[in-house]
Amino acid sequence: MLNKYARAFFTRVLTPFAALLLRLGVSPDAVTLVGTAGVMAGALVFFPMGEFFWGTIVITVFVFSDLVDGNMARQAGISSRWGAFLDSTLDRVADGAIFAGFALWYAGSGDDNVLCAVAIFCLASGQVVSYTKARGESIGLPVAVNGLVERAERLVISLVAAGLAGLHGFGVPGIQVLLPIALWIVALGSLVTLIQRVVTVRRESAEADAAAAAAQGGTADQGSEAAQ
By CB neighbour count within 10 A (0-12 exposed, 13-18 middle, 19+ buried), where does 5 fall? exposed
Beta carbons within 8 Å of 37's beta carbon, 6+ residues apart: 62
Q: Please check if 58 is assigned to a binding site.
A: no
Q: Please check if 112 is assigned to a binding site.
A: no
Q: Please check if 30 is assigned to a binding site.
A: yes
Q: Please check if 31 is assigned to a binding site.
A: yes
Q: Please check if 77 is assigned to a binding site.
A: no
- Distance in angstroms (rounded) separating the CA atoms of residues 27 and 78: 10
Q: Please check if 70 is assigned to a binding site.
A: yes
Q: Which of 91, 95, 112, 221 is catalytic?
A: 91
Q: Please check if 29 is assigned to a binding site.
A: yes
DSSP 45: I
- Distance in angstroms (rounded) separating the CA atoms of residues 121 and 104: 13
User: Buried b vs exposed e over 122-157: b needs ≥16 C-beta within 10 Å?
Assistant: bbebbebbbebbeebeeeebebebebbbbbbbbbeb
* Three-class secondary structure of residue 173 per DSSP: coil
Residues in the chain, overall count? 228
In degrees and rounded to multiples of 5, residue 112 shows phi and psi of: -150, 100
Q: Please check if 221 is assigned to a binding site.
A: no
Query: In the annotation, is 91 catalytic?
Result: yes
| Binding-site residues for a CDP-1,2-diacyl-sn-glycerol | 29-32, 70, 74, 80
- Annotated binding-site residues read 29-32, 66, 69-70, 74, 80, 87, 91
Q: Where in the sequence numbering do the catalytic residues fall?
A: 91
Q: Which residues are annotated as a binding site for Mg(2+)?
A: 66, 69, 87, 91
